[in-house]
Amino acid sequence: MQNSIYENAHVALDQAEYQKRYDALTARFDKAKARLEMVEAAIKDKQSRQATIEAYLETLKAQDTLVERFEPSLWCALLDFVTVYSKEDVRFTFKDGTEIRA
């Protein structure tokens, strides 16, 4: 785009042809910029997921063995959320993405 602007300023060009070329370059730039923003958002999402999974794995490693009694701290560290669809359909989603229907 900068080269096109420079050329227009220093060389006599048909302005309609110049505008057409400039508009095409602008559209191409906008498309590339939108794609870049999508890729950056995907990278941030994957980095966030990685951090969550690493924290989940560290919590599991910190446990010597799985105990036979309920441990609230372990439960809270591993569970992401619970979804209640009905009295008979309750789903527990863990931080690693595993879902268990109870």
pLDDT single digits (tens) 5-50: 667 566 666 778 878 888 998 999 999 999 999 999 999 999 988 8
pLDDT single digits (tens) 67-82: 567 777 777 878 889 9
Residue 65's pLDDT band (boundaries 50, 70, 90)? Answer: low
Q: Tokens for 41? A: 């958002």
Indicate the pTM of the whole model.
0.48
Contact 94, 80 (CB under 8 A): yes
The closest alpha carbon to 50, from 3, 96, 16, 98, belongs to 96
Which residue range(s) make up the domain with 57? 1-62
Same domain, 52 and 73: no
**Number of domains the chain contains:** 2
Same domain, 70 and 102: yes
Same domain, 83 and 95: yes
The closest alpha carbon to 7, from 29, 25, 31, belongs to 25
Report the distance separating Cα 61 and Cα 71, nearest Å. Answer: 15
